[in-house]
Structure 1
Amino acid sequence: MRFRALCGVAAAVALLATGCGSSTKSGDAAATAGASTSAVAGYPVKVTDCAGAGTTFTAAPKKIVTSNASSLEMLLQLGAGDKAIGTGFPPAKGSMPAQFADQAAKVPVLGQMVIAKEKLLGSGADLYIDTFAHATGMGGMGDVPTEQEFTAAGIKHMYLHSTACAATHLGPQQDLSAVEGDIKNLGAVTGTSAKAEELVAGMEKKVGAVQDAVKGVAADQRPSYFFFDFDAGTKQPMAVCGKQVANAVITLAGARNVFGDCDGDFKPVSWEDVVAKNPDWIQLGVRNKGSDAANQQAFDQAAQFLRDFPATKGLKAVQEGHFVRITSEVTTIAGVRDADTVQQIAAIVHPDLVKG
């Protein structure tokens, strides 16, 4: 079920950047070593895994493999996409921002899901960006390299804290600081810190505008919100819990995630649980199908299920047609576009306060 949930929302399981060395501190260290001709500006840079163990970079990596589309998109957003030599869980057609689609399509696919251990170790990469934390809990997806094997292959191993560490090492995500930390850390590692700061500043500006707009709405007056992961299956709903990135997105948009109090990032629940919550709004969680027409068809199918299913057809959101049609990738996966999703959800659930 855990693996199905990850695939249903286009993969993701979260990571925070606390405890990682800042690019500013690293820059100071490099400046101190400026007398050495071997010193590289902005380095060394130290990042940590979920347990706090550090990895130090003395120069920018040249060949990067990403575990899935979210970390690949981060590289592209940072302007470091030319370093990508392979990825797992490749982006679905139409899911990448248009300006990066052609470049993303040229990155070799090393695995349609988790990259096989032998292929990853033999890829020639000097950095592996891990969104899944070794695919822990992903349903017997095969063997994964040990840290010793990564080292022997000359591959440094970096985690996105907002997804890989969420379930085990983070508290509830109520803002995008974890995602922003990942962007800054990856920027520091790849030598694109200036671009990372620019991206984060843009995210903070968008989210800040929403926060200003909804600040007058009391917490108990904010609409309740259920992320319905339609692609994960309809037999048993999969809840987005407090440690998932989507909880931060929903919270910042001025809504209340009805399962925000469950521990972890994802959790299977019952339809009885959903009925008991009786949400004001339901997001129709479908993966990007590659075109507006295909996406609308998928949204329609998800909405029709809720209208027809005996357990849900009487829900307030269903009766009132309060469906949010935003794809899963930009809601449940860490990235720059999370801030756009905050704006979009806020404009739907608070139309009098936030303009679309």
Structure 2
Amino acid sequence: MWRPLSGVVLTAALLTSCGGGDGANGSDDASTERGGGKGGSPVSLENCDGEKVAFEAPPSKIVTSNAAGLEILLRLGVGSKVIGTGFPPAKGALPDDLANQAAEVPVLGRTVIPKEKLLGSGADAYIETFRPARGAHVGPRPQEFRAAGIQVVQLRSTACAAGQTGPREDLSAVTEDIERLGTLTGASSRAREIVAGMKKTLDTVGERVDSVPEEKRPTYFVFDFDAGTKELTAVCGKQVANAVITLAGARNVFRDCDADYKKTGWEDVVDKNPDWIQLAVRNRGSEAANEKAFDEAERFLKSFPATRGLTAVRKDRLLRIRSERTSTPGVANAEAVEQIARTLYPDKFEDVR
């Protein structure tokens, strides 16, 4: 299932559309990788709709729409290029070394960055994790970005998800995003190191769960607690989380819906009666606050008449995994694959710490 791009394959694949490679081209510039931020080769990228985005040199002033793009850039070692972010990472969301760097990045918006702040930020690149739904005029329009001298670079694993064909069953789109941002910022060698680390984790899991027949794999439901308990938001086959679930050796009960997300009701979940349920809550800023939110989600499932009889609830098969680790692109996706697989198949990991 794993299909990482090597440095050679990356060059050939970078100009393909959403359904294929990662849509960027360029080459490493040593001075940029050392943090110089100026000079370097021209870089060309392709967004979800095929729009070409070209830079004469790696951008040196970057704004990220949320913590996902910010974390990738920090892991690439180019945090000094980031001049602002929206949806900043909550306390405890990042390892200490990255958290300290993230704390130095100006917060332009606790949620969506106000249009005026974004356009006036002085950025030359804006990393967009999720693009607005069709017809929703949230944030600047393309012509406003152009007038401000800002080029939009989309994380294709999430921004392009709704337009892809078929369910997402591996993390190649995520690793391609990491390599694209590496190419964009002149940090390709570091990007390849990150991808290699993710591959090692996924290979370890694959060696243990790939032999499990499809029909014997447990069913799995992502309970997005923060999205509401009356009308549910189901994670469908085109979302990154579906790949995480699949690689971990489980079957997403909503994998067949032709979207990244869809609204549904409890009657649909009850009908599917999942073997395992992920209590997906967004980071609250501390371990204690997160545990409190997980507790609330669990209490709801165990007290709500429609859900307390579900197999996963009766057997306490409830995984506490934050939403961001499965639904937004990054290194945490591979870590979540291992966490889920170890929980579902503990006997297969007895020889691995």
TM-score (norm 1): 0.87
1:316 aligns with 2:311: yes
- Secondary structure at the residue paired with 1:227? strand
Cα contact 2:92–2:286 (8 A) shared by 1: yes
In 2, Cα distance between the equivalents of 1:119 and 1:166? Answer: 27
- Distance in 2 (alpha carbons) for counterparts of 1:50 and 1:152: 21
Q: Which residue is 2:170 aligned to?
A: 175
Q: Give 2:189's aligned amino acid.
A: A
User: Secondary structure of the equivalent of 1:148?
Assistant: helix
Matched, 1:291 2:289: no
1:290-339 CA distance string (max 9 Å, x none): 33322222212111111100001110011100011111111111111110
Runs of 4+ deviating beyond 3 Å: 15-23
RMSD: 2.1
Equivalences for 1:1-356 in 2 at 5 Å?
Answer: 18-21=20-23, 23=25, 26-27=26-27, 41=40, 43-133=41-131, 135-136=132-133, 143-354=138-349, 355=352
Letter in structure 1 aligned against 2:316: G
Deviations 1:275-298 (A, max 9, x none): 011111000011122333222222
- Code of the aligned partner of 2:125: L
> Shift of residue 346 of structure 1?
0.3
- Structure 1 position 144, deviation (Å): 2.8
Structure 1 stretches lacking a partner, 5+ long: 1-14, 31-38
Q: CA separation in 2, counterparts of 1:22 and 1:51?
A: 14
Within 2, Cα distance between the matches of 1:280 and 1:17? 31
Provide the rounded CA distance (Å) in 1 between the counterparts of 2:19 and 2:217. 29
* Displacement of 1:201: 0.6
Q: 2:128, 2:155 within 8 Å by CA — same for their partners in 1?
A: yes
Distance 1:22 1:121, change over 3 A: closer
Measure, in 1, the Cα distance between the counterparts of 2:249 and 2:138: 42
Deviates more, 1:286-295 or 1:342-351: 286-295
8 Å contact 1:286–1:298 — kept in the other structure? Answer: yes
Deviation at 1:99, TM superposition (A): 1.8
Change (3 A) 1:20 1:291: closer
Report if the CA contact (8 A) 2:167-2:237 is conserved: yes
Tell whether the 8 Å contact from 2:92 to 2:287 is kept in structure 1 after alignment.
no
Gaps of 5+ in 2: 1-16, 30-37
CA gap of 1:209–1:114, structure 2 versus 1, over 3 A, is: same
| Contact 2:281 2:293 (8 Å CA) reproduced | yes
Contact 2:219 2:274 in 1 (8 A): yes
The residue type paired with residue 93 of structure 1 is K
Take 1:344 and 1:276, find their aligned partners in 2: how far apart are those partners?
27
Give CA-to-partner distance per residue, 1:83-102, whole Å, 9 cap, x none: 11111112222222222112
For 1:225, give the aligned amino acid.
Answer: Y
Deviation at 1:255, TM superposition (A): 0.4
Matches of 2:340 and 2:346, distance apart in 1: 10
- Asked if the contact 1:16–1:182 (Cα under 8 Å) also holds between the matched residues in 2, the reply is no
Q: Deviations over 1:95-136 (max 9, x none)?
A: 222221122122111122222222211110011111122x22
Q: TM-score, normalised by structure 2?
A: 0.87
> CA-to-partner distance for each residue in 1:212-242, whole Å, 9 max, x for gaps?
1112210110010000011111112211000
Instruction: Name the SS for the 1:353 alignment partner.
Output: helix
Distance change >3 Å, CA 301–CA 137, structure 1 → 2:
farther
Counterpart-to-counterpart distance in 2, 1:45 and 1:104: 26
Aligned length: 327
**Inter-partner Cα distance in structure 2 for 1:340 and 1:235:** 30
Identity level (%): 57
Residues 178-209 of structure 1, C-alpha deviations (whole Å, 9 max, x = no match): 00010000000000000000000110110111
Cα 1:120/1:94, change in 2 over 3 Å: same
Relative distance call for 1:21 and 1:278 in structure 2 (3 A) is: closer
